[in-house]
Protein backbone atom coordinates (compact mmCIF):
# COMPACT_ATOMS: atom_id res chain seq x y z
CA UNK A 1 0.00 0.00 0.00
CA UNK A 2 2.79 2.40 0.93
CA UNK A 3 4.66 1.56 -2.28
CA UNK A 4 1.55 2.16 -4.41
CA UNK A 5 1.00 5.51 -2.70
CA UNK A 6 4.61 6.50 -3.31
CA UNK A 7 4.28 5.66 -7.01
CA UNK A 8 1.07 7.67 -7.26
CA UNK A 9 2.73 10.69 -5.66
CA UNK A 10 5.68 10.43 -8.07
CA UNK A 11 3.46 10.04 -11.14
CA UNK A 12 0.97 12.78 -10.20
CA UNK A 13 3.14 15.81 -11.18
CA UNK A 14 3.90 14.31 -14.60
CA UNK A 15 0.26 13.38 -15.17
CA UNK A 16 -0.87 16.86 -14.15
CA UNK A 17 1.67 18.44 -16.49
CA UNK A 18 0.51 16.29 -19.43
CA UNK A 19 -3.13 17.12 -18.76
CA UNK A 20 -2.59 20.87 -18.34
CA UNK A 21 -0.04 21.43 -21.10
CA UNK A 22 -1.10 18.84 -23.70
CA UNK A 23 -4.57 17.43 -23.17
CA UNK A 24 -6.33 20.62 -22.05
CA UNK A 25 -5.25 22.78 -25.05
CA UNK A 26 -6.13 19.99 -27.46
CA UNK A 27 -9.50 19.58 -25.78
CA UNK A 28 -10.12 23.31 -26.07
CA UNK A 29 -9.24 23.22 -29.77
CA UNK A 30 -11.62 20.30 -30.22
CA UNK A 31 -14.47 22.23 -28.62
CA UNK A 32 -13.76 25.35 -30.71
CA UNK A 33 -13.71 23.30 -33.91
CA UNK A 34 -17.48 22.87 -33.61
CA UNK A 35 -18.15 26.62 -33.35
CA UNK A 36 -18.42 29.20 -36.13
CA UNK A 37 -17.48 32.84 -36.71
CA UNK A 38 -19.85 35.73 -37.35
CA UNK A 39 -17.64 38.59 -38.56
CA UNK A 40 -15.36 39.07 -35.51
CA UNK A 41 -17.29 37.12 -32.91
CA UNK A 42 -17.32 33.40 -32.24
CA UNK A 43 -20.75 31.81 -32.31
CA UNK A 44 -20.81 29.03 -29.74
CA UNK A 45 -23.35 26.83 -31.46
CA UNK A 46 -22.40 23.28 -32.39
CA UNK A 47 -21.90 22.77 -36.13
CA UNK A 48 -19.96 20.41 -38.39
CA UNK A 49 -19.51 23.07 -41.06
CA UNK A 50 -15.80 23.51 -40.35
CA UNK A 51 -15.03 19.81 -40.77
CA UNK A 52 -17.20 19.67 -43.90
CA UNK A 53 -15.24 22.62 -45.33
CA UNK A 54 -11.83 21.11 -44.51
CA UNK A 55 -12.64 17.62 -45.79
CA UNK A 56 -14.44 18.96 -48.85
CA UNK A 57 -11.70 21.40 -49.85
CA UNK A 58 -9.22 20.11 -52.41
CA UNK A 59 -6.73 22.75 -51.25
CA UNK A 60 -6.75 21.64 -47.62
CA UNK A 61 -6.58 17.97 -48.58
CA UNK A 62 -3.60 18.69 -50.83
CA UNK A 63 -1.83 20.57 -48.02
CA UNK A 64 -2.35 17.68 -45.61
CA UNK A 65 -1.01 15.20 -48.19
CA UNK A 66 1.93 17.56 -48.77
CA UNK A 67 2.72 17.57 -45.04
CA UNK A 68 2.62 13.75 -44.96
CA UNK A 69 4.87 13.47 -48.02
CA UNK A 70 7.38 15.96 -46.63
CA UNK A 71 7.40 14.09 -43.33
CA UNK A 72 7.88 10.72 -44.99
CA UNK A 73 10.60 11.99 -47.32
CA UNK A 74 12.63 13.71 -44.60
CA UNK A 75 12.19 10.73 -42.25
CA UNK A 76 13.58 8.40 -44.94
CA UNK A 77 16.52 10.72 -45.66
CA UNK A 78 17.43 11.18 -42.01
CA UNK A 79 17.22 7.42 -41.40
CA UNK A 80 19.53 6.69 -44.35
CA UNK A 81 22.08 9.25 -43.14
CA UNK A 82 21.75 8.63 -39.41
CA UNK A 83 21.95 4.82 -39.34
CA UNK A 84 25.61 4.44 -40.42
CA UNK A 85 26.57 7.46 -38.31
CA UNK A 86 24.84 6.06 -35.21
CA UNK A 87 26.37 2.62 -35.84
CA UNK A 88 29.84 4.15 -36.11
CA UNK A 89 29.42 6.03 -32.82
CA UNK A 90 27.90 3.05 -30.99
CA UNK A 91 30.14 0.24 -32.22
CA UNK A 92 33.35 1.74 -33.55
CA UNK A 93 34.10 4.69 -31.28
CA UNK A 94 35.50 4.00 -27.81
CA UNK A 95 37.25 7.09 -26.44
CA UNK A 96 35.48 10.08 -27.97
CA UNK A 97 31.91 8.75 -28.00
CA UNK A 98 30.56 11.42 -25.63
CA UNK A 99 32.33 14.15 -27.60
CA UNK A 100 30.81 12.98 -30.89
CA UNK A 101 27.32 12.80 -29.40
CA UNK A 102 27.76 16.28 -27.97
CA UNK A 103 28.93 17.55 -31.35
CA UNK A 104 25.77 16.10 -32.90
CA UNK A 105 23.70 18.18 -30.49
CA UNK A 106 25.60 21.46 -30.95
CA UNK A 107 23.29 22.72 -33.74
CA UNK A 108 20.33 22.28 -31.41
CA UNK A 109 21.90 24.72 -28.96
CA UNK A 110 20.99 27.53 -31.36
CA UNK A 111 17.45 28.55 -32.23
CA UNK A 112 15.55 27.38 -35.29
CA UNK A 113 15.75 30.83 -36.86
CA UNK A 114 19.54 30.94 -36.59
CA UNK A 115 19.93 27.54 -38.25
CA UNK A 116 17.49 28.38 -41.02
CA UNK A 117 19.09 31.73 -41.81
CA UNK A 118 22.51 30.07 -41.78
CA UNK A 119 21.28 27.77 -44.55
CA UNK A 120 19.95 30.80 -46.44
CA UNK A 121 23.49 32.13 -46.38
CA UNK A 122 24.77 28.81 -47.72
CA UNK A 123 22.14 28.31 -50.44
CA UNK A 124 21.48 31.92 -51.49
CA UNK A 125 22.33 33.37 -54.90
CA UNK A 126 25.40 35.04 -53.40
CA UNK A 127 25.85 32.32 -50.84
CA UNK A 128 28.67 29.95 -50.01
CA UNK A 129 27.57 27.09 -52.28
CA UNK A 130 26.91 29.21 -55.36
CA UNK A 131 30.17 31.09 -54.91
CA UNK A 132 32.08 27.82 -54.56
CA UNK A 133 30.48 26.35 -57.71
CA UNK A 134 31.36 29.47 -59.69
CA UNK A 135 34.89 29.45 -58.33
CA UNK A 136 35.31 25.86 -59.53
CA UNK A 137 33.96 26.87 -62.93
CA UNK A 138 31.04 24.44 -62.73
CA UNK A 139 28.56 27.28 -63.18
CA UNK A 140 28.96 30.76 -64.58
CA UNK A 141 25.97 32.24 -62.73
CA UNK A 142 24.09 31.56 -59.49
CA UNK A 143 21.69 28.63 -59.33
CA UNK A 144 18.56 30.32 -58.11
CA UNK A 145 16.75 27.04 -57.49
CA UNK A 146 19.01 26.20 -54.55
CA UNK A 147 17.02 28.54 -52.30
CA UNK A 148 13.28 29.16 -51.98
CA UNK A 149 12.46 25.76 -53.41
CA UNK A 150 11.32 22.30 -52.27
CA UNK A 151 14.99 21.25 -52.49
CA UNK A 152 16.00 23.87 -49.90
CA UNK A 153 13.09 22.85 -47.68
CA UNK A 154 14.13 19.19 -47.74
CA UNK A 155 17.79 20.02 -47.07
CA UNK A 156 17.08 22.27 -44.08
CA UNK A 157 14.45 19.95 -42.60
CA UNK A 158 16.84 16.99 -42.90
CA UNK A 159 19.59 18.98 -41.21
CA UNK A 160 17.32 20.18 -38.40
CA UNK A 161 15.95 16.76 -37.47
CA UNK A 162 18.97 14.56 -38.15
CA UNK A 163 20.24 14.76 -34.51
CA UNK A 164 16.94 13.34 -33.21
CA UNK A 165 17.22 10.34 -35.53
CA UNK A 166 20.88 9.77 -34.63
CA UNK A 167 20.15 9.77 -30.90
CA UNK A 168 17.26 7.31 -31.18
CA UNK A 169 19.25 4.94 -33.38
CA UNK A 170 22.34 5.28 -31.20
CA UNK A 171 20.37 4.18 -28.12
CA UNK A 172 19.04 1.16 -30.03
CA UNK A 173 22.46 0.21 -31.42
CA UNK A 174 24.21 0.77 -28.09
CA UNK A 175 21.89 -1.81 -26.51
CA UNK A 176 22.73 -4.39 -29.20
CA UNK A 177 24.84 -7.16 -27.66
CA UNK A 178 28.06 -7.75 -29.62
CA UNK A 179 27.69 -11.45 -28.82
CA UNK A 180 25.03 -11.68 -31.54
CA UNK A 181 27.43 -10.23 -34.10
CA UNK A 182 30.27 -12.51 -33.02
CA UNK A 183 27.99 -15.55 -33.17
CA UNK A 184 26.91 -14.63 -36.70
CA UNK A 185 30.56 -14.23 -37.78
CA UNK A 186 31.45 -17.59 -36.22
CA UNK A 187 28.68 -19.19 -38.28
CA UNK A 188 30.19 -17.77 -41.47
CA UNK A 189 27.78 -14.94 -42.16
CA UNK A 190 28.98 -12.14 -44.40
CA UNK A 191 28.83 -8.47 -43.36
CA UNK A 192 25.70 -7.98 -45.46
CA UNK A 193 24.01 -11.00 -43.90
CA UNK A 194 24.95 -9.85 -40.41
CA UNK A 195 23.43 -6.45 -41.06
CA UNK A 196 20.25 -7.68 -42.77
CA UNK A 197 19.55 -10.68 -40.52
CA UNK A 198 20.93 -9.58 -37.13
CA UNK A 199 21.60 -5.87 -36.74
CA UNK A 200 18.65 -4.41 -38.65
CA UNK A 201 15.96 -6.72 -37.19
CA UNK A 202 17.16 -6.22 -33.61
CA UNK A 203 17.38 -2.43 -33.96
CA UNK A 204 14.21 -2.09 -36.04
CA UNK A 205 12.11 -0.79 -33.09
CA UNK A 206 14.52 2.13 -32.67
CA UNK A 207 14.44 2.77 -36.41
CA UNK A 208 10.64 2.79 -36.44
CA UNK A 209 10.50 5.12 -33.43
CA UNK A 210 13.01 7.50 -35.02
CA UNK A 211 11.21 7.53 -38.37
CA UNK A 212 7.82 8.17 -36.80
CA UNK A 213 9.18 10.88 -34.51
CA UNK A 214 10.86 12.76 -37.36
CA UNK A 215 7.80 12.24 -39.55
CA UNK A 216 5.50 13.91 -37.03
CA UNK A 217 7.93 16.76 -36.29
CA UNK A 218 8.47 17.55 -39.97
CA UNK A 219 4.78 17.38 -40.84
CA UNK A 220 4.09 19.99 -38.18
CA UNK A 221 7.05 22.25 -38.97
CA UNK A 222 6.01 25.85 -39.68
CA UNK A 223 9.17 27.99 -39.86
CA UNK A 224 11.34 26.07 -42.31
CA UNK A 225 8.94 25.92 -45.31
CA UNK A 226 8.04 29.57 -44.76
CA UNK A 227 11.62 30.85 -44.71
CA UNK A 228 13.31 28.68 -47.35
CA UNK A 229 10.43 27.20 -49.34
CA UNK A 230 9.50 30.26 -51.39
CA UNK A 231 6.35 29.66 -53.41
CA UNK A 232 6.26 26.07 -52.18
CA UNK A 233 6.31 27.20 -48.54
CA UNK A 234 2.53 27.18 -48.14
CA UNK A 235 1.73 24.33 -45.75
CA UNK A 236 -1.17 23.17 -43.65
CA UNK A 237 0.52 24.64 -40.58
CA UNK A 238 0.78 28.06 -42.27
CA UNK A 239 -2.93 27.80 -43.12
CA UNK A 240 -3.68 27.06 -39.46
CA UNK A 241 -1.53 30.03 -38.43
CA UNK A 242 -3.41 32.32 -40.82
CA UNK A 243 -6.76 31.17 -39.46
CA UNK A 244 -5.75 31.98 -35.90
CA UNK A 245 -4.04 35.21 -36.97
CA UNK A 246 -5.15 37.36 -39.85
CA UNK A 247 -8.45 35.59 -40.56
CA UNK A 248 -9.51 35.39 -36.90
CA UNK A 249 -11.33 32.15 -37.66
CA UNK A 250 -10.39 30.12 -34.63
CA UNK A 251 -13.04 27.43 -35.20
CA UNK A 252 -11.82 26.68 -38.73
CA UNK A 253 -8.21 26.78 -37.54
CA UNK A 254 -9.10 24.32 -34.77
CA UNK A 255 -10.80 22.01 -37.26
CA UNK A 256 -7.73 22.15 -39.52
CA UNK A 257 -5.49 21.32 -36.58
CA UNK A 258 -7.60 18.37 -35.55
CA UNK A 259 -7.87 16.99 -39.09
CA UNK A 260 -4.08 17.22 -39.40
CA UNK A 261 -3.67 15.55 -36.01
CA UNK A 262 -6.07 12.77 -37.02
CA UNK A 263 -4.24 12.24 -40.33
CA UNK A 264 -0.85 12.00 -38.63
CA UNK A 265 -2.25 9.70 -35.93
CA UNK A 266 -3.72 7.46 -38.63
CA UNK A 267 -0.37 7.21 -40.44
CA UNK A 268 1.51 6.52 -37.20
CA UNK A 269 -1.06 3.95 -36.10
CA UNK A 270 -0.94 2.21 -39.48
CA UNK A 271 2.88 2.12 -39.39
CA UNK A 272 2.89 0.61 -35.90
CA UNK A 273 0.25 -1.95 -36.90
CA UNK A 274 2.17 -2.99 -40.00
CA UNK A 275 5.42 -3.25 -38.05
CA UNK A 276 3.81 -5.35 -35.33
CA UNK A 277 2.53 -7.73 -38.03
CA UNK A 278 5.86 -7.88 -39.86
CA UNK A 279 8.39 -10.72 -39.29
CA UNK A 280 10.65 -8.33 -37.36
CA UNK A 281 7.84 -7.09 -35.14
CA UNK A 282 6.49 -10.57 -34.47
CA UNK A 283 9.96 -11.87 -33.73
CA UNK A 284 10.68 -9.14 -31.22
CA UNK A 285 7.28 -9.62 -29.60
CA UNK A 286 7.91 -13.32 -29.25
CA UNK A 287 11.14 -12.58 -27.38
CA UNK A 288 9.38 -10.11 -25.14
CA UNK A 289 11.33 -7.15 -26.54
The answer to whether position 99 is within a domain reads yes
Phi/psi of residue 43, each to 5°? -90, 115
30, part of any domain: no
In a domain, 264, yes or no: yes
| 28 part of a folded domain | no
Of the pLDDT bands very low, low, confident and very high (cuts 50, 70, 90), residue 286 is: very low
Position 134 in a domain: yes
> DSSP H helical segments within the chain, as ranges?
2-18, 24-32, 49-56, 58-87, 97-105, 112-123, 128-136, 150-174, 178-186, 191-194, 200-219, 223-228, 236-244, 250-277, 279-286
Q: Does residue 170 register a pLDDT over 80?
A: yes
Q: How confident is the model at residue 278 (pLDDT cuts 50, 70, 90)?
A: confident
Look at residue 69 in the predicted model and tell me its pLDDT. 95
Average pLDDT (116-124) is 90
Residue 82 binned pLDDT confidence (cut-offs 50, 70, 90): very high
| Residue 180 included in any domain | yes
**pLDDT reading at 287 higher than 50:** no
Span 176-198, pLDDT tens digits? 888 888 888 888 888 889 888 88
Q: Is 185 a member of any domain?
A: yes
CATH number of the CATH domain containing 240: 1.10.3720.10
For 255, the domain range is: 56-286
Q: How many domains does the chain have?
A: 1
Predicted confidence (pLDDT) per residue in 33-77, tens digit: 999 988 778 888 899 999 999 999 999 999 999 999 999 999 999
User: Count of CB atoms within 10 A of residue 201's CB?
Assistant: 16
Looking at per-residue confidence, does 4 or 108 come out higher?
108
Q: Would 9 be classed as within a structural domain?
A: no
Q: What is the mean pLDDT of the chain?
A: 88
Amino acid sequence: MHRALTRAVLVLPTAAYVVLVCAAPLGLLFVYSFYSVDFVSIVKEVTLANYALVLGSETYRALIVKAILYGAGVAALTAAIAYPLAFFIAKRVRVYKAALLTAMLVPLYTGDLIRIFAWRVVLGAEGVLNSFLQWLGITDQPIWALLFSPFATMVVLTYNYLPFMVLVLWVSLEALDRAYLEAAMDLGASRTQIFMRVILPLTSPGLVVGVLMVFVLVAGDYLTPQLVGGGSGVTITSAIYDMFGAAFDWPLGSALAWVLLAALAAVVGLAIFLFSRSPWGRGLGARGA
